[in-house]
Amino acid sequence: MSLEITHLGSGSSGNSVVYKNGDTVFLIDCGLSTKQMEKRLLLAGINPNQIDHILITHHHADHSKSALKSSIKWSARLHSNLETAIRMGWQPMSEVRTFSDLDRIEINNNVSVMPIPVPHDNADNVAFIIFTGGERAAYVTDLGEATDELKKHLKGCSHISIEANYDQNKLLNGPYPDSLKRRISGRGGHLSNLQTANILREVVTASTKSIVLCHLSEKNNAPHIAESEVLMKIHDFFDGDLSISGKKGPEFTHSIGEDASKRISMDH
């Protein structure tokens, strides 16, 4: 049974990806209002009441905004680590199931998800690896650098969603104050296009069929710059689908293991 992956939105105004495996539907991150989440889920062909689980990477609002409210409204089980639950004011066990690093979270008989810790300022952030039928998909965002442990798990994933937050030159010459520039480019900030390209060069293999670049900064990046920087590093061995998730999804759906995406009508 395939795993279908649809990005509902990406960037500082809100992040969420919906995964569908047969009748099982789950979200990673829920960083838009409940109303926006519902609108975008319907555009992706999913009734919000179908959502079984919501997994949250970290407490920043662009990832967690409506998680508790949406989980109650849709009767979905909410998952985060303890630090994120505390920072959000959620009650462990009554409102949220807490996980620890490298736990296997069973979604159904066919799908499990593993959280991997990543460095991100003032947050206990995780990346997720989704395991299904011998294949893996990855969701990696909001980190200053990739650890060896993360790269080990990313290697050979069939689908990789990864942030490409900023272009080094645009950030350096852009409008942000120096302190913010340092924070974004530091170990606890975000990945630059070049960092992402270098990570992908290490972890993409012949098994990798689709890559989605996400969380692009509106001020410090541009889709064509991110795409060309990544392609420059991987074009000699990657011939799958490379897409960019913008702030207003859903735009496309990937099926794990396939090297093409299905477009979603953009009349919204």
Residues that bind Zn ion (CB under 5 A): 60, 62, 142
Cis, bond preceding 92 (omega within 30 deg of 0): no
Shortest reach from residue 130's CB to Zn ion, in Å:
19
Beta carbons of 209 and 157 less than 8 angstroms apart? no
Q: What does the alpha-carbon distance between residue 28 and residue 6 come to, in Å, rounded to a whole number?
A: 11
38 or 62: CB nearest Zn ion: 62
142 or 251: CB nearest Zn ion: 142
Shortest reach from residue 123's CB to Zn ion, in Å:
6
Of the CA atoms within 13 Å of residue 5, those in its CB half-sphere come to 28
29 or 251: CB nearest Zn ion: 29
24 or 193: CB nearest Zn ion: 193
In sequence order, the 6+-apart residues with CB closer than 8 A to the CB of 141 are 15, 57, 63, 127, 161, 162, 163, 214, 215
The secondary structure of residue 49, as a DSSP letter, is G
The three-state secondary structure class of 86 is helix
Residue whose token pair is 């409102």? 95
Alpha-helical regions (H) of 192-245: 193-203, 223-234
Give the distance, in angstroms, between the CA of residue 103 and the centroid of all CA atoms in the same chain: 18
Shortest reach from residue 146's CB to Zn ion, in Å:
15
Shortest reach from residue 15's CB to Zn ion, in Å:
6
7 or 60: CB nearest Zn ion: 60
Shortest reach from residue 135's CB to Zn ion, in Å:
26
The three-state secondary structure class of 131 is strand
Shortest reach from residue 238's CB to Zn ion, in Å:
25
124 or 142: CB nearest Zn ion: 142
